Amino acid sequence: MKVSIEQLKEIQSYLEMLSNDGIDMPDEGGYLGEKDYDELPDEMEIDEICLDFPDDQEVFGIEPELFLVYMREIKTLRRVDGVIVRTDHIIQATISSTRVGFTSFEEAITSYTFVGDGIDVSIIKQPFLVGVLNAKEGRYNEDFGFGACEPYTAIEIRIEEGIDEPNVNELIERICFYLTDRTGAAVYPWEGPDFKELDDIMSEEYDEDEEYEDETSPEDENENVELSSLPHFSPLLKMYRQAKEANDPEIQFLQYYKMIEYVSPVVAKSVAYEHLNKRLDMLPRISRDHKYLDSILAVARKYDKDLRDDTLALAAIENCVDVVPLYDMLPKRMLKKVKGTLKLQNDTLTDEDINDEQLMGLQKQIAGILYSTRNSIVHAKSNYEETGNELKEDELVEANDMMDVIVHSIINWNERQPEGYRV
């Protein structure tokens, strides 16, 4: 980058400011260390400004133009919470992942960018503003390998002047959901290490050279995503990444099931509303007698029934999920059982292979399996009586693949609902 004398003076003043917080240049050679500006040409070429953040293992390099963008807003730099640091127009939210430390994974997530109306989002390593504030606040510890800037990854949100600011926490959750969904590994907001607990953290070793699985890499080397294409914020997005964080198949199953429990009352209510609307549409043409009024009460009674624990899963399965593709995702033992119960002919299923009665039966069978399995896990230490629908422990990994499909369908169903009806 071509740097003028005025820009050089500005950069020098900022470097002196940073040095007060222990952020120094590795050496003061070249133009950046020059004090006698009268001896310098009007413009000079400076490709990179190198900085040593406290306790970082590697030197931080930044282009002069980007350095000036950050530093011209440095007076408004503040910490919003443990995750977010920001200036008036730049927000950096630190994130982590169940795959942190794997080079290919981190290359994958930093290839994503997101764009909206006056908003640009990228995933960056060594977030400068985070490093500056960590240095100022003393949030680093060399003994445990946590420097002020180097170990962090952040979602960076840039907001143009005059653009209404989004709900930052909701936007972060939406992006974390998208990254989790695309990579297959949980990506979540992270406050950084608790230095009192670093002994436990550092005892977990990983191999930095291990290759990350191909299917978690983005389809395109650099993917630019429209923010408007992300799902609207809802607690379901956070629940999904929490499920992906779980290493234990039982815990993961229960996290998925929580999503079903969360959305099912809304599903049941929307179905009840639709039934009521249809019933009320008949008023101009039928008598408003006791039979008609009883039919209204019947809709209400069915809604109450749909809110019971044993029918919550069925409400979601019936209205949010296409169960035909789920049939051959069932673990083999349960597939054989369902196949026999419904008198189906094949181990794989198409719409032509199943009639309406069998389809309703399949919905009830799958809902019953999920509900019974949930109860068997939750009540494992009590006097739980098995129903025969419970999945065994060694079937849960396979079942969680099916659950992932189910909760994706639920998220998509929720996304299609009018704003007032979404969870």
Beta-carbon count within 10 A of 104 CB: 15
In this prediction, residue 273 carries a pLDDT of: 73
In this prediction, residue 142 carries a pLDDT of: 75
In this prediction, residue 204 carries a pLDDT of: 53
In this prediction, residue 218 carries a pLDDT of: 47
In this prediction, residue 222 carries a pLDDT of: 64
In this prediction, residue 211 carries a pLDDT of: 47
In this prediction, residue 78 carries a pLDDT of: 95
**Are the beta carbons of 334 and 307 closer than 8 angstroms?**
no
Return d(Cα 314, Cα 304) in angstroms, integer. Answer: 14
Q: What is the mean pLDDT of residues 302-317?
A: 76
Q: How many residues does the chain have?
A: 423
**Are the beta carbons of 407 and 243 closer than 8 angstroms?**
yes
In this prediction, residue 189 carries a pLDDT of: 93
Q: pLDDT tens digits for 129-179? A: 999 999 999 888 877 678 999 889 999 999 998 888 889 999 999 999 999
In this prediction, residue 195 carries a pLDDT of: 57
In this prediction, residue 224 carries a pLDDT of: 87
Confidence of residue 233 (pLDDT cuts 50, 70, 90): very high
Flag the least confident range among 63-72, 293-302, 333-342, 369-378.
Answer: 293-302
In this prediction, residue 38 carries a pLDDT of: 67
In this prediction, residue 35 carries a pLDDT of: 62
Q: pLDDT tens digits for 78-95? A: 999 889 999 999 999 999
Q: Average pLDDT over the chain, rounded to whole?
A: 85
In this prediction, residue 306 carries a pLDDT of: 63
Return d(Cα 122, Cα 101) in angstroms, integer. Answer: 19
Q: Break the chain down into helix, strand, coil percent, rounded to 5.
A: 55, 15, 35
More confident residue, 226 or 283: 226
More confident residue, 212 or 204: 204
Flag the least confident range among 146-155, 205-214, 248-257, 351-360.
Answer: 205-214
Rg of the chain, C-alpha, whole Å: 28
The yes-or-no verdict on residue 205 having pLDDT over 50 is no
More confident residue, 120 or 380: 120
Q: What is the mean pLDDT of residues 4-19?
A: 90
In this prediction, residue 270 carries a pLDDT of: 78
Return d(Cα 99, Cα 262) in angstroms, integer. Answer: 28
In this prediction, residue 42 carries a pLDDT of: 77
Among 67-71, 107-111, 200-204, top mean pLDDT goes to 67-71
Percent of the chain with pLDDT over 70: 87
Q: Closest Cα partner for 92 from 152, 148, 41?
A: 152
Confidence of residue 292 (pLDDT cuts 50, 70, 90): confident
More confident residue, 209 or 240: 240
Exposed (0-12), middle (13-18) or buried (19+): which is 18, by Cβ within 10 Å? buried
Confidence of residue 329 (pLDDT cuts 50, 70, 90): very high
Positive or negative: CA dihedral 314, 315, 319, 320:
negative
